[in-house]
Amino acid sequence: MGSKSNPPGNRTRSSLSIFIVIGLCCFFYVLGAWQKSGFGKGDSIALDITKQTDCSILSNLNFETHHNDVDTEPIKPSEPKIKVYKPCGVEFKDYTPCQEQERAMKFPREDMIYRERHCPRDDEKLKCLIPAPKGYTTPFAWPKSRDYAHYANVPYKHLAVEKAVQHWVEYKGDVFKFPGGGTMFPQGADAYIDELASVIPIADGTVRTALDTGCGDSHSKRLNVFSKLTTSSVTQVASWGAYLLKRNVLAMSFAPRDNHEAQVQFALERGVPAVIGVLGSKNLPYPSRAFDMAQCSRCLIPWTLNDGKYLMEVDRVLRPGGFWILSGPPINWRTYYQTWKRSKEELAEEQRNLEELAESLCWEKKYEKGDIAIWRKKTNSAACSRRSADFCDATDFDDVWYKSMKTCVTPYPEVSSPTEVAGGKLKKFPARLLAVPPRISQGSVPGVTEESYQEDNRLWKKHVNTYKRINKLIGSERYRNIMDMNAGLGGFAAALESPKSWVMNVVPTIAEENTLGVVYERGLIGIYHDWCEAFSTYPRTYDLIHANGVFSLYLNRCKAEDILLEMDRILRPEGVVIIRDEVEVLNKVRRIVRGMRWNTKMVDHEDGPLVPEKILVAVKQYWVASSNSTSSDE
């Protein structure tokens, strides 16, 4: 029976079929693994390119500070000639392309328009390297940098002379000392913050992000006389933000470009977050509901003028349940009206108008004693008993880049109960850092789910661990001021989170999704920016710059050369750049930077050499301006 139904030939064919099936399974398994490695993603020449990029571990790239003791990476004779970028003249050592005084004076002073961003045209952009001043030295490591800065790095004594009695900054020998005093801090910044903390829950992590609205700089003729008497200078050279850091609060400070006081430059030299900016005619470059706390310490911003639009803008960026602090005029006017050379009646009216404006914004006054008043924004509109307000009719209150500021109130997000926090309740920091942000859990960011958010966190933890293997100084005091040029969901900054450093999370205005609101909900800080233009900061203000996919994002939008020259401008001598991008893009970038006094190395992706994405690591050489402004060999 068996021989009739299963002849030997059939058994052979059956065995052969089994072997064929097994062979095909093995083939497709290998093929799938090959594609998953990254080499099967449409790049048929990835292996050849990998061999060309010298993707070795950085055996000859030194991250320690040596100043002049830096060797230039040789250019191979067989390669085409590299464009070499010459140093700019020494007069450009503090060049801020979009806030230059000469260009600013061509614009109206109304609404501080002349102090806003006015960037050079493409044919006006400098194609040279901004020099460091002679004698430039690596800034002191944190936390010493909070209290000391090298004079050679920020050679401006104006504040030390003008504000000597108020102890903002003192000049001793070849360093500046910041005692933590100021006009509103007669007992020091710590004592001032202690008083705030008696009302505001600063100590328990409820308050994590703060906004310092900086200096008013004569917003109106009405304040001209008063502004000559006293100005805030980013709240006493950012001492408020500097002393909040030890309480685990990140403060974003801003102030206009000032050719004499260099307020923002001092702040960043101290290792404190700050940008050049002003409350003027344009929206602030921050998302709605970003900050847990905001303050004006003698900032001289005329809050009640222009129908209160400046305070309405603060309300837009203040989180429901957040706090606003005003220390200075018109608070305590009965004591100071003669010093301020203003009448009792005028100041009484100004404070009355301010109180009414705050009430219309749904803010409740919580404290007033001496020179300080504190308001709290209600948690939702249901808790509000305000009179009718003129609400803004926009649909996206985070779309603010170069948008004109309007005199209207940003409405609260809808709530389903009187106890619900509009926009979603946040966890206390540090739990907030890794918790799912409300904007994601509520589906406000298209394409981002709770699962993809968690996966993004895992990915960036892996990436940052790789960076630390490449450069063992990452995570130490060596890199205090860090920038992420394309922050996404803030995963890079979250993986780096440490009291030793802070990250400026930049969300490009052309990014596919607007994620800066998510970054702030995590307890991080950041800003909107278009990398086709210069960033609102001074030269030499960042220790480490991270650029993930930036050059692919801006491909065919603006020149990679201009972006790299801007990165060089804001990077400190011997600072580090980490660029993650497709290998073809990085090869073009590497060719440009070889003419910029950067030492570079290409590193493979974490998943191996067959993945087309690579990592370009660079160290900016130490060099300073020469006396004749044509060489940089000193």
Q: 200, 217, 304, 319: which is closest to 259 by C-alpha?
A: 217
What pLDDT sits at residue 511? Answer: 97
Mean pLDDT computed over every residue of the chain: 86
Average pLDDT over residues 459-479: 97
Tens-digit pLDDT profile for residues 526-548: 999 999 999 999 999 999 999 99
- Rounded-to-integer distance, Cα 548 and Cα 485, Å: 7
Residue 31, helix vs strand vs coil: helix
Handedness of CA 377, 378, 380, 385 (dihedral sign): negative
Does the pLDDT of residue 632 top 50, yes or no?
Answer: no
What pLDDT sits at residue 184? Answer: 67
What pLDDT sits at residue 54? Answer: 46
- Rounded-to-integer distance, Cα 308 and Cα 267, Å: 29
- The residue among 298 and 432 whose pLDDT is bigger is 432
Using a pLDDT cut of 90, give the percent of the chain over it: 72
Using a pLDDT cut of 70, give the percent of the chain over it: 79
- The residue among 24 and 158 whose pLDDT is bigger is 158
Average pLDDT over residues 33-43: 42
pLDDT band of 449, cuts 50, 70, 90: very high
Q: Which residues of 44-77 are buried (b: 16+ CB within 10 A; e: fewer)?
A: eebeebbeebebeebeebebebeeeebeeeeeee
pLDDT band of 57, cuts 50, 70, 90: very low
pLDDT band of 63, cuts 50, 70, 90: confident
- Rounded-to-integer distance, Cα 269 and Cα 331, Å: 32
Does the pLDDT of residue 180 top 90, yes or no?
Answer: no
- Rounded-to-integer distance, Cα 551 and Cα 559, Å: 9
User: Which of these ranges, 78-92, 163-177, 331-345, has the smallest mean pLDDT?
Assistant: 163-177
Average pLDDT over residues 372-378: 97
Does the pLDDT of residue 229 top 50, yes or no?
Answer: no
- Rounded-to-integer distance, Cα 193 and Cα 210, Å: 13
Average pLDDT over residues 136-152: 96
Average pLDDT over residues 583-599: 97
pLDDT band of 219, cuts 50, 70, 90: very low
Tens-digit pLDDT profile for residues 243-281: 999 999 999 999 999 755 678 999 999 999 999 999 999
- The residue among 561 and 226 whose pLDDT is bigger is 561
Find out whether 364 and 318 touch, Cβ atoms under 8 Å: no
- Rounded-to-integer distance, Cα 461 and Cα 92, Å: 39
Residue ranges and CATH numbers for the domains of the chain are 188-221+230-377 (3.40.50.150), 438-620 (3.40.50.150)
The C-alpha angle 512, 517, 521, rounded to 5 degrees, equals 135
Average pLDDT over residues 228-233: 40
pLDDT band of 62, cuts 50, 70, 90: confident
What pLDDT sits at residue 6? Answer: 44
pLDDT band of 299, cuts 50, 70, 90: confident
- The residue among 228 and 173 whose pLDDT is bigger is 173
What pLDDT sits at residue 22? Answer: 64
Strand-pairing partners, residue 620, are 598
- Rounded-to-integer distance, Cα 245 and Cα 188, Å: 15
Does the pLDDT of residue 613 top 70, yes or no?
Answer: yes
Does the pLDDT of residue 575 top 90, yes or no?
Answer: yes
Distances (CA, A) of 285 to 405, 411, 545: 11, 19, 20
Q: 383, 278, 259, 262: which is closest to 321 by C-alpha?
A: 383
Average pLDDT over residues 185-195: 89
Does the pLDDT of residue 71 top 90, yes or no?
Answer: no
pLDDT band of 633, cuts 50, 70, 90: very low
Residue 605, helix vs strand vs coil: strand
Does the pLDDT of residue 68 top 50, yes or no?
Answer: no
- Rounded-to-integer distance, Cα 475 and Cα 499, Å: 10
Does the pLDDT of residue 230 top 50, yes or no?
Answer: no
Find out whether 171 and 179 touch, Cβ atoms under 8 Å: no
Q: 573, 611, 548, 458: which is closest to 153 by C-alpha?
A: 573
Find out whether 494 and 264 touch, Cβ atoms under 8 Å: no
Average pLDDT over residues 13-31: 59
Q: Which residues of 297-307 are buried (b: 16+ CB within 10 A; e: fewer)?
A: bbbbbbbbbbe
Does the pLDDT of residue 38 top 80, yes or no?
Answer: no
* φ, ψ at 609 (rounded to 5°): -70, -15
Tokens standing for residue 308:
């209160």
Give the neighbor-by-neighbor strand order of the sheet with 274-276.
Answer: 274-276, 250-255, 209-212, 291-297, 318-327, 372-377, 363-369
What pLDDT sits at residue 422? Answer: 97
What pLDDT sits at residue 238? Answer: 82
Which of 32-41, 213-222, 376-385 ranks highest by mean pLDDT?
A: 376-385
Does the pLDDT of residue 234 top 90, yes or no?
Answer: no
User: Which of these ranges, 65-69, 85-89, 221-225, has the smallest mean pLDDT?
Assistant: 221-225
- Rounded-to-integer distance, Cα 578 and Cα 492, Å: 12
What pLDDT sits at residue 355? Answer: 96
Summary count for the chain: helices (H), strands (E): 20, 17
Cis, bond preceding 330 (omega within 30 deg of 0): yes
